[in-house]
Every structure is written in structure tokens, then in C-alpha cells.
Amino acid sequence: MLARLLYSLLFLLAMPLVWLRLLWRARRQPDYLRHLGERHGHYPPPPPGPLLWLHAVSVGETRAAAPLIEALLQAYPGHTLLLTHMTPTGRATGAELAERHAGRVVQAYLPYDLPFFCARFLAHFRPRIGLLMETELWPNLIAAAAARDLPVLLVNARLSARSARGYARFAGLIRPALAALAGIAAQSEADAGRLRTLGARQVTVCGNLKFDMTPAPDALQRGEGWKAALAGRPLWLAASTRDGEEALLLDAFAVCLRAQPRLLLALVPRHPQRFETVASLVAARGLRFRRRSEDGVPTADTQVWLGDSMGEMAAWYAAADVALIGGSVLPFGGQNLIEAAACGCPVLIGPHTFNFAQAADDAIACGAALRVADAPAAGDAVLRLLAAPAERQAMREAALAFSRAHRGATARTVALIGSFYGQPAETFSGIRAGR
């Protein structure tokens, strides 16, 4: 209690800095200044009827939550689902779900984690159950829910060894928050063990929801169309790259061009606010590039294709001959390779995959992915794989098998939710774990 009181006081004192950070981020993303009242607990009237609440902080968590949201809407047909976020890009991604399920999915920003904001949020929406995606631990929010006897579960929970060490330094704050959760659906046994060590009680291994994400057929068709339009040009995709990685990969690509002049690099930064920065980086190297936001596909003399659009990652994977997963070349912990595997794309990953250690190790073990030491090694691996079509085909087949073998987390998670909230309706009975 004392640790949470100190945390709240420090958070309150830091609020002017929080507002300044919003203004700073709004320079590149003006949407950060929209819905400001929601960040302080002020909302439009809530929808009528019982409400399920799921929090997905940004784009990755929202996409991962998609199969769970679909399953919950099917399982509890008389309910509305409140989908909360912290970033405009997460909210924009969730808007696709809200549009698809008009009237049954509503969106809002989660308020800042101060007691009076959290109390206002919960009193306004009065959800029946709360679901926090992956690693979203908000001590005041969890405490406010516990005081109202509102069951809150951490779902698709992951905790890297590095994050666990960081959390352990704040055990007085984190341990009570974990203990107050009604339950946790962990991605793996390793995640579950680390969470238990930090004080979690009801932990069940349900698997990773991202394996249940099915690439949209239209996205796959779009990618196949790009591939056909390239007329045999090999395509190296650098997917979800982070700050500092693009420069290293562009240098490696320049070396690859000497051996493979027709090679095309598709460079897709992780964060949209960096699109212009990366475009300037490519231009400064004298490379001929085209933006995806421009209609059509690259011309014959295009060397770099800049992925400055949103929601098309499955199309990129479908078009690529080989993909390097960003965030893994430098120590960011790596982005998720599961979507690439579901699209049957051969994958390269760098040395830094601590955010998705289990998935990365499993993909390597089954032949769906290869680990490289750095950006130059990635370039070497690309050239080698382009010269070995049989090996690329074997990796495609291994990737699809890897994706199929790990499905079923959605059904297991819904069953766990049902144990706290009430068993799902009969309409969900056809879905089984492992399908």
C-alpha cells in the first residue's frame, strides 16, 4: 500500500511532463491531442447492457487481441465489448474491429493510472470483467478493480527475463498488483514461471493468441499481386524495423546489390511517425526508392520500396522471398515472427529476440527461421537463400506447419475467462482448443 501511495504521488507530480510528452508526440501524430478527456476519465455515455472490457495498449496488442475479441463476441452474444488503448495507432487498428462489429465494439482511451481517474473510468463503464493484454500492469487500476470485486485477468501474458529483472526492482508495487489479478493466461511455461516468481497466483499456460490470427485473404492476394508485378525480381523484406536498424540494413543491402543488382529491399518501419525520417535516410544514401503510399508497384530501377502504409504486413510477407524481423538486429527484443510464419514466409531474426524468446527458439528448431548475428550476416543469408529455392520452399512449409501446430490459445483463454465470469453461450461450443 505504501509503495502504491508513493507511486501515485510521483505519477501526480509527473503529470506536467506527461502532458508535455503528449504535445511532443502530437508534432508528428496530431491524433495524440484527440480524446484528451478520456485520458483523464471523462467519456461519452456508455452503451447499454453488460460490458466486457479488454485493454490493448497499441497496434501489436490490438492485432493479437483480434481472435479473442471475435471469440468473445460469439461466446457472449448479449454483451458489448469495450476496447481501450493508449496510442492513436492502436485505436486506429481497433477501429477496424469496431466497424466490423458495429454497435458491439466501442473504443476509448484508458485513463492515466491515478486513483481518481481509474475510479471514474470503472464507475462510468461498470464492466463485468477486465482483460489486460500481455504486460499491461497498472497498479492503481488493478487495485480499483479489486476494491469493486471486478475480476481482472492478464491475458496472452508474456514476461521476458529482462523485464522480470526490472519488475523485481519494484517488488513492493508489482507483487500486490499481480496477486490482485483474478487470473493470468500466460503464453508459455517460461512466462508463467517468471510471473509466479514475481507474486502471481492463478497462472495458466494458454499459449500465444497471435498463432490464431489468420491472414486476411485479400491481403494475401494483394501480396501475390505485388509479387507477380515484380516479374521475378527478388524481394527482401525488412519488417517492423526500429530506430538505428534501417541504416545498418541499408548498408548491408548496398553490399548485396553488387552480387544481385536486381534485388529489391522493402523497408517497413515499425512506427508510422518515423516514415519521413527513414525516407530521408534512404534518399541520403542515393538509393532510388518508391513509397508504398504512392499507387502501383516499384519501377524497374527502384531499389528500395518504403512501406509507409498501415495494416498491410500480411501482404508484405506474402510478396517477400525472405523477411528479416525488425527489432532483433539491435537490442530492442525483436518483433513477432508469428504473422510471417502464418503467411509462409522464410524468416531471418537477429540476435536480440528476448521479447519473443520462446516463439523464436521454436521457429528456429523446426526450420521456419534462421538466426543471423548482425545486418551484414543478414545480407549474406539473403543472398544464400535467394540462390537456394529448395531451401526457401522448405522454410515456407516449416513456417506454415509451425503456425498450425501452435493454434488453440483463443479457445483455452475463453475457457479460462468463463471460469471467472460464467461459461460461454452455446454458440461458442463448436470452437475447441487446438483447432
Write down all domains in the chain, each with its CATH number in brackets: 38-207+408-428 (3.40.50.11720), 218-405 (3.40.50.2000)
Q: Write the single-letter amino acid at 369.
A: A
- The reported pLDDT for the residue numbered 281 is 96
- The reported pLDDT for the residue numbered 433 is 35
- The reported pLDDT for the residue numbered 354 is 92
**Contact call for residues 214 and 64 (beta carbons, < 8 A):** no
Of the candidates 184, 221, 214, the one whose C-alpha atom is nearest the C-alpha of residue 201 is 184
* Pairing of the two strands 203-205 and 347-349: unpaired
Over 70: is that where the pLDDT of 426 sits? no
Rounded average pLDDT over 13-24: 94
Query: Which positions are annotated as active-site residues?
Result: 61
Place of cell 476509448: 108
Place of cell 512506427: 271
pLDDT-derived band at 428, boundaries 50, 70, 90: very low
Percentage of the chain lying above the pLDDT 70 cut: 97
Over 90: is that where the pLDDT of 407 sits? yes
CA distance 206 to 188: 7
CA distance 249 to 361: 23
Percentage of the chain lying above the pLDDT 90 cut: 90
Q: Write the single-letter amino acid at 281.
A: L
Instruction: Tell me the per-residue pLDDT of 208-257, one tens digit each, with 9 for 90 and over.
Output: 999 999 899 999 999 999 999 999 999 999 999 999 999 999 999 999 99
Rounded average pLDDT over 21-29: 90
Rounded average pLDDT over 167-171: 94
- The reported pLDDT for the residue numbered 425 is 59
Q: Sign of the CA dihedral 34, 39, 41, 47?
A: positive
Rounded average pLDDT over 87-92: 94
Over 60: is that where the pLDDT of 364 sits? yes
